[in-house]
Amino acid sequence: MADKYMHLAGFPDPLESHVAAGDPHVNVDGNPPTMNAETPAAIAKPEERRGGQRHRAVMRAARLSSCVHKVEGMGVVRNISEGGMLVHSHLSFETGERVAISLLDGDRIEGEVVWRNGTAFGIRFCSWISVERVLAKSLVTDTAMRPRRPRLTINYPILVRSGSYLADARICDISQRGAKIQFNKYLLIDCRVQISKGDLRPATGSVKWQVGDLVGLEFHRTLSLDELSMWTSLQLNTL
C-alpha cells in the first residue's frame, strides 16, 4: 500500500525555503520551531528534515485569525506536518505574522507565517503537533456531533438592497449560510435582501430576525469557502 504521507505534488513544503528568482512575493524563513529535548533531531533543520518529517496532503477548511490585526477569515489547509502547514487563503497575512489556525472541530494551533506566494502561505507551528490526532478529531461522522458552520466576525460598510430600496449598512459577522448586519431601517421578516461590497459577488437572503438595528439574514445560496474567505479578507483592507 502506498504511503499515505507524501509531499503534495505541485505544492511546496510548508516549512521549506522557496525563492523564485526575482519573485517579490516570496519571503523566506525556513527555521523550525525552537528545539527542546523532545524535538526529533531529524527535523531540526530544513536540510535535515526530508527523511524525518513527512507531509500529508489534505483538503480541510479552517478558520484563520491574525494575532496582530485581530481579524479572522477562512482558508483551506492543503498540506500538514508535525511542524507546519500549507494554507490557501485570501487573507493578507505578512511574513513573520503570528496566526492561529482552527480546524472546524475547534482545535486551535498557533504558528508564524514563514513564506507567502499569492494566496498560499507556509505556516510554522509554535510547537510540534500530532498530525494523526488533529486530523482524526476533524473527521466527525456523526451528524449530530458536527460543528456549526463557522461564523466570522467582521465590521465594514456594505450596501443593502431590498426591492428598489438601496441603503448603507454595516456587516457584523458572516458564515456560509448567513450574516448579521447593522441597519437603521425596519425590514419585514422573510423579505428578500441583497448585500454587496465592491467587486464581490452579491449575497441574497431573507430576513430571519431583527432586534433594534441588528438584522439576521439567511442566504438563499450557501457561500463557497472561497467566497467566504473573500468577504472576510476585506476586513484587513479596511483597517
Rg (CA), the chain: 20
Backbone angles phi, psi at 42, to 5 degrees: -65, -20
Residue that the C-alpha cell 526575482 belongs to? 22
Which CATH number is 46's domain given? 2.40.10.220
User: Tens of pLDDT along 149-168?
Assistant: 677 888 999 999 999 999 99
| 228 and 176 Cβ atoms separated by less than 8 Å | yes
Q: What is the largest CA-CA distance in the chain?
A: 67
Check whether residue 214 and residue 196 sit in a common domain: yes
pTM of the shown model: 0.53
131 and 158 assigned to the same domain = no
Q: For the chain, what is the domain count?
A: 2
Segment 6-9 long-range contacts (CB within 8 Å, at least 24 positions apart): 6/54, 6/55, 6/56, 6/57, 7/55, 7/57, 7/79, 8/55, 8/57, 8/78, 8/79, 8/86
Is the pLDDT at 142 greater than 90? The verdict is no
Task: Give yes or no: residues 208 and 123 share one domain.
Answer: no
Cβ pair 178, 220 in contact under 8 A: no
Domain that holds residue 177: 152-237
C-beta separation of 95 from 27 below 8 A: yes
Per-residue model confidence as pLDDT tens digits over 29-74: 334 444 333 333 222 334 434 444 567 888 888 888 888 877 778 8
85 in a domain, yes or no?
A: yes
pLDDT in tens, 101-137: 987 665 789 999 999 998 898 999 998 888 888 877 6
In a domain? residue 198: yes
Query: Both 160 and 129 in a single domain?
Result: no
CB environment 73-88: b (16+ within 10 A), e (fewer)? bbbbbbbbbbbbbbbb
* pLDDT greater than 60 at residue 6: no
Q: Are 32 and 13 in contact (CB under 8 A)?
A: no
Domain identity same for 92 and 169 = no
